[in-house]
Amino acid sequence: MKKQELPSWRDCCIYRVPKTLRKIKPEAFSPRLISLGPLKTPLQERTDEPPVQDETVKMETVKLKYLEKFYERTERNLEELLKIVEKQEERIRRCYEEIDVKDDVEFRERILVDSVFIIELFLKEKEPKEHVYDFIVGKPWLRTAVQEDLILLENQLPYFILDELYKFIDCLIDTDKDVDFLIDKGILVNGLGDSEMVAKLFNDLCKEIIEDEFCFETIRQKLYDHYGNCWYRTVAIMRHVYFSNIFRGSGTIVAIMLLIFTLIQFINSLMEIF
């Protein structure tokens, strides 16, 4: 456990609400549904709104489900994501006036889970029609309550860690075809409209930046190994050129059968001659 040092005023940007101000109207500063970040602000006690009160106990489970979706979306695992948070841990700590989470592991996990929750929520909000059955997005009244919680002073997370977790690294995207592939797999959402523009954006993202450790290095190496395998490349070419659709595939099979029959007939003719 690390000793919590007082943050520098230059770094600190997330504060506790003064007690004198909170006493005036406590519900204005306490979340209704979800508590985010290491301040652990207690939720409001609302007996006048049963629907909201019933959903509060489920929000931590929703966070974990969103985290699982983020694993799938980014093809990263928990260890890789925690490393990103760990690298920024000291900077994150300096952003808070005080921190209620003292254990280092618990701190990183809370920052990760809450950050991913916000990212996934925003991604789902961009395409609400595709997430009508989502626990939050599919319930307008719940969406509103969560949105109100996100703007509370004590419910904030440093923007830079959200950005760090969200951005797709330049090494995975070189051309517009890479962008189209990631969009097709649901990993990337194209808000620019043009795949070439997205590719250029990512290719310019890390200019003049030296990265000594790449979290996707294992995946990238597997892709290179896969592409370098002659058998896989041959199969891919066959699928793309000769079996790209049912008509072309059928034609290819018929052509192969004709070739085989012709070869058999030729061999039989030779046998009759000799």
- What is residue 121's predicted lDDT score, i.e. its pLDDT? 93
Interval 185-230: pLDDT, tens: 676 777 767 788 877 777 666 555 545 455 556 766 676 677 677 7
Give the chain's mean pLDDT: 80
| CA quadruple 188, 190, 191, 197: dihedral sign | positive
Q: Does the pLDDT value for residue 165 go beyond 70?
A: yes
Confidence class for position 48, pLDDT limits 50, 70, 90 = very low
> Measured between alpha carbons, how far is residue 215 from residues 78, 106, 164, 198, 273 in Å?
12, 22, 12, 21, 67
Most confident of 37-41, 196-200, 255-259: 255-259
- What is residue 91's predicted lDDT score, i.e. its pLDDT? 94
Burial degree of 50 (CB within 10 A; 0-12, 13-18, 19+)? exposed
- What is residue 253's predicted lDDT score, i.e. its pLDDT? 86
- What is residue 81's predicted lDDT score, i.e. its pLDDT? 93
- What is residue 219's predicted lDDT score, i.e. its pLDDT? 67
Mean predicted confidence (pLDDT) in 18-46: 83
- What is residue 268's predicted lDDT score, i.e. its pLDDT? 84
Confidence class for position 27, pLDDT limits 50, 70, 90 = confident
Interval 258-268: pLDDT, tens: 889 888 888 88
49 vs 94, residue with greater confidence: 94
> Measured between alpha carbons, how far is residue 217 from residues 35, 80, 260 in Å?
34, 11, 45
**Alpha helices (H) in the chain, listed in sequence order:** 19-24, 50-56, 59-74, 78-87, 89-94, 104-126, 140-150, 159-166, 176-184, 195-205, 217-228, 230-242, 246-273
Task: Determine what percent of the chain is predicted with pLDDT higher than 90.
Answer: 27
Q: Is the pTM of this model over 0.75?
A: no
166 vs 54, residue with greater confidence: 166
Confidence class for position 245, pLDDT limits 50, 70, 90 = confident
Mean predicted confidence (pLDDT) in 24-29: 88
- What is residue 195's predicted lDDT score, i.e. its pLDDT? 81
Confidence class for position 255, pLDDT limits 50, 70, 90 = confident
Confidence class for position 252, pLDDT limits 50, 70, 90 = confident
- What is residue 213's predicted lDDT score, i.e. its pLDDT? 53
Q: Does the pLDDT value for residue 50 go beyond 60?
A: no
- For residue 24, the one-letter residue type is I
Interval 79-124: pLDDT, tens: 999 999 999 999 999 999 888 888 899 999 999 999 999 999 988 8
